[in-house]
Amino acid sequence: MRYKLLGRTGLRVSELCLGTMTFGEDWGWGASKEESRAMYDAFLEAGGNFIDTANLYTNGTSEKFLGEFMGADRQRVVLGTKYTNSMPGKDPNLAGNQRKNMMQSVEASLKRLQTDYIDLYWLHIWDFLTPIEEVMRGFDDLVRAGKILYAGISDAPAWVVSRAQTIAELRGWSPFAGLQIEYSLIERTVERDLLPMARELGIAVTPWGPLSSGLLTGKYTAGNTDPKRIQNPTLDARRNAIIAAVQEVAQESGRTAAQVALNWVRQQPGTIVPILGARKLSQLQDNLASLEWRLSPEQMNKLSEASKIELGFPHHFYERDMVKGFVYGGFRDRIDA
């Protein structure tokens, strides 16, 4: 296991993050306590230190399990949890990004996690109601109180994140260290604005869903190993082409499809730390084995070509020769950037 700095901080996090939305069977499909403990132990034994959870995951059971599991490991673990969401109920302030929910949620998470601080506290999803200033001042207050060390944001538009980061910088508040987004060979639309923004602002990216809910693991093509014949009638042509390309690379590499899909995400530019979301120890062990090897440039190109998307305006506009000629006065190829 190697380690990366979390954005523009000195915090060292493992190159893979253990996602624990599967810790607990409250939602009918998660892992038992024993299996969750086995995955936790295996991750730490592999050198992992970065763990992701949320107050909502398995109705709080995920946080409770982690609180029990960490024990003497607490100092070693870089623990991230989230606020925003709650199950539907009678109180409108039990969900949302506002300060009231932030403060109530962090206290409840601290109790479930059996700790007095959280390393990385995430806003789980943007609610389009709360002023950005309220959010950023709230995070800064929590940092100054020592209840959290760093702040992050998940599932938000690029304009929200960039504006929040600018306000924090101008006012001397704690900025976002991490950005959590969905990113995989199937879901690449974040390449339009979110990923370039993160690289420009120095924010680490922790992609969730790098295996697209199992779609990229070969889960839906069991028994069919010929890449040219892998077709699922419930999927569109692009997804079938991506799955076939992943299977082809997996076969030529002697590796699993899941490892191929994970490594494509891992090898993208910038600070990328994929979140692993396994339900079984065997799945986690297979995911961790992706660290043993890398995709070749030719394999990366094959997968990128199969999964490419149209970036749309203004990205394609910038690539026009006439536009580049005007913007740089005909000197683009002679200017060192």
| Residues involved in catalysis | 57
Assigned token pair, 276: 């692993």
Q: Is the peptide bond before 131 cis (omega within 30 degrees of 0)?
A: no
Nearest-angstrom CA–CA distance, 55 and 156:
18
DSSP string for 226-284 = -GGG---TTS-HHHHHHHHHHHHHHHHHTS-HHHHHHHHHHTSSS-B-PEE--SSHHHH
Question: Quick one: DSSP state of residue 94?
Answer: G
User: Can you give the length of the chain in residues?
Assistant: 337
Cα–Cα–Cα angle for 20, 25, 29, rounded to 5 degrees = 85
Burial status of residue 223 (CB atoms within 10 A of its CB: 0-12, 13-18, 19 or more): exposed
Look up residue 65 and give its DSSP letter.
H
DSSP 294: -
Question: Residue type at 127?
Answer: D
Residue type, 188: R
Instruction: State how far the Cα of 206 lies from the Cα of 181, in Å rounded to an integer.
Output: 7
Helix axes 237-253, 297-307, angle to 10 degrees: 170
Say how far apart CA 293 and CA 290 lie, in whole Å: 6
Gap between the Cα atoms of 23 and 279, Å rounded: 8
